[in-house]
């Protein structure tokens, strides 16, 4: 067997520093963001809250994990967001036999009978890749999670003895919470890398549910997505916009104190007089709520304030993003992990009820 040949074309771009960005008009970008939100809302109805959070994640350049029941529209939502965002989009399905190499390259025998290696989904589009969508992430093995961890944390990957950077990449992943067999729970480090974990429920409004079931518009997801306007915002400038938002929006002393108090109360609920029925509060939280998580909380709150048309953060912003940003970063004692879905919202509610603001 002859030596493996690396593909010479198309050439893959290593990380290239971009030109100095022009001054960013945040008011204009806010209009763009709202237009982006409205575009996605055409395809996904009854998910206003999840959509708002996704927009915030996009404008914070944060990776998002979607969790929910089967068939509630997680994939459709992510595909709609990817379309409205424009830019190259790749997806991969998590399976139990998926290996990291399957993401990096594909090996096959070409027509001439010789082995060929071609870039896999993550490398195929080069450094422009805007959205990488990992479907059913909890079906993939820890090896794959480890590779994903690197892609998410550093937005780069090593392959073919070279580093590839994806400066504009956002990783969207989803997992369904119904099945536990043949799945691999995401390691703590990988979960912490996700900016938000957004829970998706079927819309509560019976009218919307009926519409989802009976309107032919929602029967064919491909046609639904294809009907959306493409590339509503310029994904290449989002990094600069995100940085400008963080510079522009003020989180004052009061918000700082409030955030810190929330953090403390979440980490040590028993010290703040929080009690939940049937839970030993002093043994509930065993880890998590990392400084990275809290910094993500503040970033998300700043973006929320900006999207709301303010240049300062208020407690409502923190409350809006607290559960999606913090809940999945908190690790509970094994005895309570199985009841996570009941305990976490109750705990977060109790934390907000325990900490006064302003103070």
| Footprint of another protein (CB under 8 A) | 250, 252, 254-255, 311-316, 319, 352-353, 355-359
For tokens 């994904």, the residue is 235
Look at residues 171, 8, 204 and name the one whose alpha carbon lies nearest to residue 90: 171
- Of residues 138, 157, 162, the one with CA closest to residue 147: 157
Q: For residue 10, say if its preceding peptide bond is cis, omega within 30 degrees of 0.
A: yes
Q: Which is nearer to another protein, 88 or 315 (CB)?
A: 315
Least distance (Å) between residue 256 CB and another protein: 11
Q: Rg of the chain over CA atoms, in angstroms?
A: 21
Taking the least distance from each CB to another protein, the nearer of 180 and 359 is 359
DSSP result, 196-265: EEEEE---S-HHHHHHHHH-GGGT-HHHHHHTSPS-SS-GGGHHHHHHHHHHHSB--HHHHHHHHHHHHH
| Residue 217 vs 349, nearer CB to another protein | 349
Closer residue to another protein in complex, CB, 234/308: 308
Least distance (Å) between residue 312 CB and another protein: 5
The half-sphere exposure of 114 on its side-chain side, counting CA atoms within 13 A, is: 11
Find the shortest distance in angstroms from Cβ 289 to another protein.
Answer: 20
Pick between residue 81 and residue 297 the one whose CB is nearest to another protein. Answer: 297
CB of 317 to another protein, least distance (A): 9
Nearer to another protein, 118 or 275 (CB): 275
**CA gap 62, 82 in Å, rounded:** 14
Residue 356 Cβ, how far from another protein at the closest point, in Å?
6
CB of 254 to another protein, least distance (A): 5
């Amino acid at each position: 067997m002859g030596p493996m040949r690396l593909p010479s074309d198309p050439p893959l771009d290593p990380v290239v520093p971009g030109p100095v960005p022009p001054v960013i008009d945040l008011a204009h970008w806010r209009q763009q963001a709202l237009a982006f939100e409205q575009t996605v809302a055409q395809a996904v109805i009854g998910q206003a809250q999840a959509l708002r959070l996704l927009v915030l994640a996009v404008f914070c350049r944060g990776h998002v994990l979607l969790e929910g029941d089967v068939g509630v529209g997680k994939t459709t939502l992510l595909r709609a967001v990817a379309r409205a965002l424009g830019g190259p989009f790749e997806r991969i399905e998590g399976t139990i036999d998926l290996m990291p190499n399957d993401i990096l390259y594909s090996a096959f025998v070409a027509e001439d009978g010789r082995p060929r290696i071609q870039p896999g989904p993550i490398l195929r589009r080069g450094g422009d890749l805007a959205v990488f969508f990992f479907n059913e992430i909890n079906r993939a093995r820890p090896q794959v999670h480890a590779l994903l961890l690197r892609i998410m944390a550093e937005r780069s990957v090593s392959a073919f003895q070279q580093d590839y950077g994806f400066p504009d990449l956002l990783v969207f992943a989803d997992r369904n919470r119904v099945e536990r067999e043949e799945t691999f729970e995401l390691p703590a480090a990988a979960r912490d890398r996700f900016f938000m974990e957004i829970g998706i429920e079927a819309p509560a409004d019976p009218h919307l549910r009926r519409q989802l079931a009976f309107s032919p518009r929602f029967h064919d997801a491909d046609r639904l997505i294809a009907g959306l306007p493409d590339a509503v915002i310029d994904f290449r400038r989002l990094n600069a916009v995100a940085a400008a938002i963080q510079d522009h929006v003020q989180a004052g002393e009061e918000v700082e104190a409030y955030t810190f108090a929330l953090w403390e109360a979440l980490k040590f609920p028993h010290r703040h007089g929080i009690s939940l029925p049937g839970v030993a509060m002093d043994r509930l939280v065993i880890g998590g709520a990392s400084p990275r998580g809290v910094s993500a909380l503040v970033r998300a709150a700043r973006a929320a304030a900006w999207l709301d048309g303010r240049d300062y953060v208020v407690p409502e912003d923190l409350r809006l993003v607290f559960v999606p940003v913090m809940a999945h970063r908190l690790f509970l004692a094994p005895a309570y992990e199985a009841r996570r879905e009941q305990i976490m919202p109750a705990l977060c509610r109790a934390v907000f009820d325990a900490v006064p603001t302003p103070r």
